[in-house]
Amino acid sequence: MDRLELTSKVKNVIEQLRPYLQADGGDIQFIELTEDNVVNVELQGSCGSCPYSQMTLKNGVEETMRRAIPEIKAVEALNF
């Protein structure tokens, strides 16, 4: 799978997850896919300040992403 196709699949998974985060007043934005297949995202809204955001990121977003796209190594939140 080439980088463009992989990035497209990552963005698709994020779009499927966004409504769940938005329902709790948060959001997620794709930032980049690194060369070593780590997805960098920005958690926004209440997700940016929620004490459970790392748990949501790792147990929800990362698990879903890795299940859908086995090539993905991790999902990391960047702080802006």
Cα(77)–Cα(80) distance, integer angstroms: 10
Report the pLDDT value the prediction gives residue 51, as an integer from 0 to 100.
Answer: 83
Q: Compute how many other C-beta atoms are within 10 angstroms of the C-beta atom of residue 20.
A: 14
Query: What 3-state DSSP class applies to 37?
Result: coil
Name the one residue in this structure whose structure tokens are 């086995």. Answer: 70
Give residue-wise pLDDT tens across range 12-70.
999 999 999 999 899 999 999 999 999 999 999 988 888 888 888 998 999 999 999 99
Report the pLDDT value the prediction gives residue 25, as an integer from 0 to 100.
Answer: 92
Question: In Å, how far from its chain's centre is CA 42?
Answer: 8
List of domains in the chain: 3-77 (3.30.300.130)
